[in-house]
């Protein structure tokens, strides 16, 4: 269990993105949703939940679609129903932005930390996320993405997502930073979006135009379950 003695304030609610099909991890994800794939004796989802509890998050909101019943059963078996609420996208998967938007419409909180469970989160990420949170609130920002330089990625095939200068993210020909799968957002970012199904990049693109997409650099080796090749390389015995 990841432990943290520092108090986290203002950021009480988290979102975990669990609705994806995990197509790049087939055939493993034909029968098991990606968040429930094991890393050692622990699932990706359980690993992510432990990090959030170490960050003193009080409530976790989670979206699901592919093999959703297994996600719900996992939460029941771990006796986490009082702390984790599942938002099942039954008819259609809502994509990343739509999934977040759907969740926050049912919540009253202003700020959320959002994690993708297919990054291998460790206790080393705790101080970085705490510092990112402090920067988010000190700047009175509406967003903050945890990013890492490409050279820190275990999977060197990955392309960069952004360039960054003075904690402001942008797109250019270098794009030397990769999004780690951790971000803090304010609910107001979604207030004018009328679409129900859309990627989070729709929000990011506008923030980049407005020169207010914020980033915080991680110094930790980035291990992301890109595809079945990387998964087997990291965790198969």
* pTM for this predicted structure: 0.92
How far, CA to CA in Å, does 111 sit from each of 65, 136, 149, 175? 24, 10, 26, 27
Confidence check: pLDDT of 2 > 50 = no
Decide which of 80 and 36 is more confident.
36
Residue-wise pLDDT tens digits, 91-102: 999 999 999 999
Task: Name 114's bridge partners.
Answer: 15, 183
Judge whether 236 and 131 are in contact, CB under 8 Å. no
Confidence check: pLDDT of 1 > 80 = no
The residues, ordered by sequence, that sit 6+ positions from 75 with a Cβ below 8 Å of its Cβ are 62, 81, 84, 86
Judge whether 52 and 113 are in contact, CB under 8 Å. yes
Confidence check: pLDDT of 4 > 70 = no
Q: How confident is the model at residue 235 (pLDDT cuts 50, 70, 90)?
A: confident
Residue-wise pLDDT tens digits, 12-56: 999 999 999 999 999 999 999 999 999 888 999 999 999 999 999
For the chain, give the mean pLDDT.
92
CATH 3.90.550.10, applies to 13-235: yes
Judge whether 56 and 4 are in contact, CB under 8 Å. yes
* String of DSSP letters for the chain: -----S---S--EEEEEE----GGGTTGGGTS-GGG-EETTEEHHHHHHHHHHHTT--EEEEEE-TTHHHHHHHHHHTT-TTTEEEEE--SS--HHHHHHHHHHTT---SEEEEE-TTB---TTHHHHHHHHHHHHHHTT-SEEEEEEEGGGBSSTTPPP-BEEETTEEE--S---EEEEEEEEEEGGGGTT---SS--THHHHHHHHHTT--BEEEE-S-B-B--SHHHHHHHH--
pLDDT value at residue 236:
62
Tell me the two tokens of residue 100: 């977040």
Cis geometry, peptide bond prior to residue 100 (ω within 30 degrees of 0): no
Cβ neighbourhood burial of 11 (10 Å; 0-12, 13-18, 19+): buried
Task: Tell me the percentage of the chain whose pLDDT exceeds 70.
Answer: 95
pLDDT value at residue 234:
86
Confidence check: pLDDT of 133 > 60 = yes
Confidence check: pLDDT of 131 > 70 = yes
Residue-wise pLDDT tens digits, 202-234: 999 999 999 999 999 999 999 999 999 999 988
Judge whether 177 and 217 are in contact, CB under 8 Å. yes
Task: Name 182's bridge partners.
Answer: 115, 146
Tell me the two tokens of residue 235: 């965790």
Decide which of 237 and 8 is more confident.
237
Euclidean distance between CA atoms 156 and 50, whole angstroms: 27
């Amino acid at each position: 269990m990841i432990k943290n003695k520092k108090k986290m304030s203002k950021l009480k609610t988290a979102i975990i993105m669990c609705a994806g099909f995990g197509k790049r991890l087939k055939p493993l994800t034909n029968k098991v949703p990606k968040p429930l794939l094991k890393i050692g004796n622990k699932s990706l989802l359980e690993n992510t939940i432990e990090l959030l509890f170490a960050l003193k998050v009080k409530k976790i909101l989670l979206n699901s679609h592919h093999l959703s019943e297994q996600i719900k059963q996992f939460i029941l078996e771990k006796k986490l129903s009082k702390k984790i609420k599942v938002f099942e996208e039954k008819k259609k998967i809502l994509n990343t932005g739509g999934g977040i938007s759907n969740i926050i419409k049912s919540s009253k909180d202003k700020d959320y930390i959002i994690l993708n469970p297919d990054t291998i989160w460790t206790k080393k990420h705790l101080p970085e996320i705490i510092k990112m949170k402090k920067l988010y609130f000190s700047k009175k920002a509406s967003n903050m993405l945890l990013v890492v330089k490409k050279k820190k990625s275990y999977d060197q095939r990955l392309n960069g997502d952004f360039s960054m200068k003075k904690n402001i993210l942008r797109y250019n020909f270098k794009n030397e930073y990769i999004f780690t799968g951790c971000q803090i957002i304010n609910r107001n970012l979604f207030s004018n979006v009328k679409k129900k199904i859309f990627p989070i990049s729709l929000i990011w693109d506008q923030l980049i135009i407005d020169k207010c997409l914020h980033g915080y650099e991680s110094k930790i080796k980035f291990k992301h379950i890109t595809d079945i090749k990387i998964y087997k390389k990291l965790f198969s015995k």
